[in-house]
Each structure stands twice: as C-alpha cells, then as structure tokens.
Amino acid sequence: MSEIVIRQATSADVEDVSAIIIRAVHETNAQDYASEIIEFIIAHFSPANIAARMANRLMLVATIDDEIIGTASLHKDTVRNVYIRPNHQGRGIGAALMQEIEEQARANGLETMAVPSSVTAEGFYRKRGFVPVRDQFYGAVRTVLMAKVLGL
C-alpha cells in the first residue's frame, strides 16, 4: 500500500468528504442502526453541510496517491466525523487520523478530548484510550459519549 498522507481539508474536498461519510454510514454503520436512522444521519452530511462545518473546525483528510480515503475533525475539544472509505477500513487510516487529531489537540493546549461515538465505532475509540461516559440520544440515534485524558 502506498503512503498515507494526512492534511487539512480544503473547500475542494467537500464532495469527496461527503461521499466517504455517506458511503461509510450506509455500508458500515447500517449493521448497528435501522434504515430510518441511517437516512437521518446521512442527511446531515451533504457537501454544503460539510463546507459549513469546515469553517469552524479543524477538518483533516487522509489520502493515498492523492485520493481521499478518510476524514476526521476536531471541533473545540470534541472529535467529530471520523470516517474511512469502507474498502480501506482496518488498515490503520483511522488510527493515523486520530493520532494527528490528538497532536493538534495537545498543540492547542487541550487536556481532554470527547467523542460522541456511534455504537459501531465504540471499540475503535476504546482502543485509542477513550472511555465511555454516558449514552446520548439525538431523537432515536444513540451515541456513546466517550472521553480521553491527553498525556503530554
């Protein structure tokens, strides 16, 4: 496999980021959520919504050979929208994105980070030192609020 490059997302990336998130939700999260919840979730990830989010958070993309294959964001002290193209999952791309997110958080003086994890991704975040705090519900969508103390 070619080298994974992580960089800050640009406005030219919004279509690809939207497509990756929607595909990952359809193909990966669908195992843990009912179809109406999947449709509710993906409605929030149009290119226009991605562009709006980009204005107030750090949004990263992971690329291989200049093709975007994953994304992750940091909004204040909260990790958001970590998604990897399904055919690239399990290859360390999410871990590389999270490592960069944590480095950016430390550089910004954060001592803790939170993540509202899908049921699907809870194990992924546990492996990275996040611990469950409580369940949260957005309508019928259950997420697991997790937190991590950042070491220096």
Q: pLDDT per residue over 22-55, tens digit each? A: 999 999 988 888 888 888 888 899 999 999 999 9
* Cα 1 to Cα 60: distance, rounded to the nearest angstrom: 20
pLDDT at 152: 58
Average pLDDT over residues 79-96: 95
Check pLDDT > 80 for residue 140: no
User: Is the CATH code 3.40.630.30 the one for domain 4-109?
Assistant: yes
Phi-psi region of 70 (alpha: psi -120 to 50; beta: other; left: phi over 0): beta
* Cα 93 to Cα 83: distance, rounded to the nearest angstrom: 9
Segment 71-85, tens digit of pLDDT: 999 999 999 999 999
* Cα 142 to Cα 119: distance, rounded to the nearest angstrom: 7
Structural domain spans, the chain = 4-109
- pTM, two decimals, is 0.92
Q: Which two tokens stand for residue 8?
A: 């800050």
pLDDT at 114: 97
Q: What share of the chain in percent tops pLDDT 90?
A: 80
